[in-house]
Amino acid sequence: MKKSVLLLSITSGLLLFAAWPVSPLLPLIFIAWIPLLMVAERARTASGFFGLSFLALLIWNSGTTWWMWNSTDIGTIAAIMFNSMLMTFPWWGYFHIKKKGKNAGYISLIAFWMCFEYIHHNWQLSWPWLTLGNVFASYPDSIQWYEYTGVQGGTLWVILVNILLYELWLSYQQKSFNKKMALSVLFLLASPLLIAYLLKPTLSKETGTDNIVIVQPDIDPYGKFNAGTGAEQIQSLLNLTKEAIDSNTKMVIWPETAMSIADWQSNIGNNLYYQAVFEFSRQNPSLSLVTGIETFKNYGTEKITATAREAGDGTYYDAFNAAVHIRNGQALSFYNKSKLVPGVESLPTFLNFLAPVFEQFGGTTGGYGRSESAATFSATGNNYIAAPIICYESVYGEYVGEYVKKGANILTIMTNDGWWGNTPGHKQHLQYARLRAIETRKWVARSANTGISAVIDPTGSIRDSKPWHKMSTIKYAVPVVSGETFYVRWGDYLYKLASLISILFILWKIKDRFTNNKK
């Protein structure tokens, strides 16, 4: 293997890592794939190119998601290796298709990569953390057009600019500098920025009196599930809440699993640990509490879900990482987290034989149960209709749009990012919430156990936030915004188109292979 090719592969991985949030080196993303395109031209065999592209993507994955190690060591190694391998397949497909012609190759690279991202948003081993369009999260003013395309538009932008810059570099190397190509690159770089400037809405001044209180209790995530501390945690949450609310507070948001003493959903109202919460609700009848909670649900003698576990008495039940809406005089409403973290919260059915291994790094044999679709929390006399988004779900643009389709006029994110410590992980997660605000044009109220809690407006700007590892609250008069954006209505349409094109390329390749074998 030539050292120059190996160096190019390493350079591509380092550029991708250097551009990723929360780095200030975002422009590097527009040249990050050029070294890998050069490798594709110089590699002699498909297997050799597979290894070189895997190396680049392994460096990217390792540099940007190493912080998972703080919660699981074996799981982090497995996730980084597996994700890097999956990312290699679109490049491997490009290596084969480009033999049919340069343009066919470039189109296949775009289609294969976007198809991969679409699959990675929707299958049982979903991990879309490194979706290319996420790279702009810290710079929302440059992507106001995400209300029409979502992150898929950002992915397309990144790949197109890399390809055109590579072609421009080739023309320079061949001493036939292509001025038209140079103008095309400038246009492709500048026009999305201009469109973003024109599309950025002017928000009216917040004149309403209704407000939302966000609580950041700063509880150690590795100790919060000890039963002996449950009552103390609840009291701490209530004390923070009582200090912050006023007569205009309509909604309070607590973080993921804030109510951590698990019980049957049918018995939550009778749970002794939570009686202080219900008493607080009775004292504040016009206030809605939206909080994360650990619950169980019994199905009797019938195992009606794949994740249901046997209780030992012949009955089956599911465990849930859930959200609950508590409002005086109204029945409790539950939403069970649907987008579960692979390995830790869910085990794909085709990996059930590895259940004992997953248990060793924090997973469960059956995994959590889940809701089949998004839901909303609302109450009579309260203008806020909440989307109870739980942690990891905030990474899924199309799924968050489902909450809005069901009537949500505010995105309430409940999360616990303390598992990773003070690393880029919790900072990246916060930045991704800004993308959801733009895509849906809704205000975001984010309650994070150890931080960073925040209020984000529909342009993706952070209006208020609380620092990492600090017990605090935010009180903010959040306006109500109704309606659906183009992206909310149509979802990941670009991904679906790219997937169709990918299928056509694969069929084309199969046809050629069949024809050659026949000859």
- Residue 439's CATH number: 3.60.110.10
Q: Is the pLDDT of residue 3 over 80?
A: no
Residues 307/311/315/317 CA torsion (nearest 10 deg): -40
This prediction's pTM: 0.92
Predicted confidence (pLDDT) per residue in 221-250, tens digit: 877 666 557 788 999 999 999 999 999 999
Residues 146-183 pLDDT 10s:
999 999 999 999 999 999 999 999 988 887 777 888 89
Contacts of 232 (CB under 8 A, 6+ apart): none
Q: Are 154 and 239 within one domain?
A: no
In this structure, is residue 301 part of a structural domain? no
| Nearest-angstrom CA–CA distance, 111 and 505 | 9
Which residue range is the domain that position 436 belongs to?
211-294+323-478
CA 473 to chain centre: 24
Same domain, 340 and 406: yes
* Residue-level pLDDT at 74: 83
Mean pLDDT to the nearest integer, 19-47: 95
Please tell me the predicted confidence (pLDDT) of residue 64: 96
Measured distance CA(312)–CA(375) in Å, rounded:
32
Which tokens in the block code for residue 110?
């775009």
User: How many domains does the chain fold into?
Assistant: 2
How many C-beta atoms surround the C-beta of residue 14 within 10 A?
17
Inside any domain, residue 187 = yes
Determine the average pLDDT of the residues in 281-299: 94
Q: Are residues 226 and 340 in the same domain?
A: yes
Residue in 400, 276, 383 with CA at minimum distance from that of residue 326 = 276
Same domain membership, residue 196 and residue 282:
no
Domain identity same for 231 and 287: yes
| 330 and 432 together in one domain | yes
CB 415 within 8 A of CB 431: no
**Residue keyed to tokens 């990312």:** 87
For residues 195 and 286, membership in a common domain is answered with no
* Bridge partner residues of 413 (DSSP): 389, 446
Does residue 300 fall inside a structural domain?
Answer: no
Q: Give the C-alpha distances (Å, rounded to integers) separating 376 from 147, 264, 267, 344, 403.
A: 21, 21, 22, 26, 6
Q: Are residues 123 and 272 in the same domain?
A: no
Same-domain check for residues 194 and 340: no
The answer on pLDDT for 377 being more than 80 is yes
Instruction: Write the pLDDT tens digit of every residue in 341-373.
Output: 887 787 666 555 555 544 433 344 457 888 989
